[in-house]
Structure 1
């Protein structure tokens, strides 16, 4: 099974599927914000950036999936972004379900001075909602909980792909075309 995952990771199709999944989540987030009028909070914006990090990893993997070093760079960026998003989603759920006066989130997003996304793209990266508000539920699960599930899936898949890199792919491959 791990050699099969290694084989998949060497194909552009697999990296494109990763790209497509992140693009779908970004489009969904923008629809929630602009279509449904749901106000994103600071943690929502940071989680959106974590998804963009996974998207960047998929683009790196798409460039040259046959080269191990390129794949590993993509996988490590993927895992780092998924881990950061997971911790942000956990904290977001904590703020919603276990409110504590000492735990708060900032009103304004804080990007590095060399990458002021909130200034460059204010309609995408400005936060004007409260982190403690529960504004969207699907199947009785809040958005912050869905993000925990989504990032956990990205971490588990990324770890499986990373471990598979230590197993050789079969010589005959349907993905090498």
Structure 2
């Protein structure tokens, strides 16, 4: 019997999360390198949030048997999803604002002095694009709209998994059952 509450104990679940994040980063690089869509500062911050979720998934993948690393991975997943959702929604709101004067953002990413990612890896973290530009749409949503949906989904799944894991941990039951043999 497979339950949502037991997912954090399973390396395969963390591998799926990592592969999903890898797919998102691959898509971002495809848009940037192949379609020549330049990322803006908020795009780079969303990229960092996806990387945060991916790194949390790696922690969970290799430490799913230990409660401390499992909880660190869950917290990292929730925090990165939440921050990504805030940034993506703000970016979406900025692009859909009626006043183009407010559709601007910083000229360079604001990384810490001890980790200037945009200087170390400019191909991945430089932000030559403008936040207000809508260069791509699918089904009526631009990139920030889709990232808002994706981060909201990741956050919702993370919350459900965490709550079920807490219930499962305290009740010693399987939690919310999704599959019966």
TM-score (norm 2): 0.88
State the alpha-carbon separation in 2 of the partners of residues 83 and 24 from structure 1: 19
Q: Deviations over 1:92-151 (max 9, x none)?
A: 011100144356310111110111111110111000111001111111211110000000
Tell me, yes or no, if structure 1 residue 147 matches structure 2 residue 147: yes
Secondary structure in 2 matching 1:18: helix
Tell me if structure 1 keeps the 8 A contact 2:104–2:130. no
The match for 2:4 is: 5
State the alpha-carbon separation in 2 of the partners of residues 115 and 68 from structure 1: 29
Q: Map of 1:28-177 to 2, 5 A cutoff?
A: 28-100=27-99, 101-102=101-102, 104-166=104-166, 167=168, 168=172, 170=174
Summarize the Cα distance change of 1:157–1:34 in structure 2 as closer, same or farther, 3 Å threshold. Answer: same
Tell me if structure 1 keeps the 8 A contact 2:103–2:131. no
State the alpha-carbon separation in 2 of the partners of residues 123 and 103 from structure 1: 24
Query: Over aligned residue pairs, what C-alpha RMSD do you find?
Result: 1.6
State the alpha-carbon separation in 1 of the partners of residues 34 and 51 from structure 2: 20
The match for 2:178 is: none
Secondary structure in 2 matching 1:165: helix
Tell me if structure 2 keeps the 8 A contact 1:4–1:169. no
Q: Deviations over 1:68-112 (max 9, x none)?
A: 221111010111101110000111011100144356310111110
Secondary structure in 2 matching 1:53: helix
State the alpha-carbon separation in 2 of the partners of residues 124 and 80 from structure 1: 22
Tell me if structure 2 keeps the 8 A contact 1:90–1:148. yes
Q: Tell me the CA shift for residue 8 of structure 1.
A: 2.0
Q: Tell me the CA shift for residue 16 of structure 1.
A: 0.1
TM-score (norm 1): 0.90
Which runs of no fewer than 5 residues in structure 1 stay unpaired? 171-177
Tell me if structure 2 keeps the 8 A contact 1:57–1:75. yes
Tell me if structure 2 keeps the 8 A contact 1:99–1:132. no
State the alpha-carbon separation in 2 of the partners of residues 126 and 62 from structure 1: 29
The alignment covers a number of residue pairs equal to 169
State the alpha-carbon separation in 2 of the partners of residues 60 and 153 from structure 1: 21
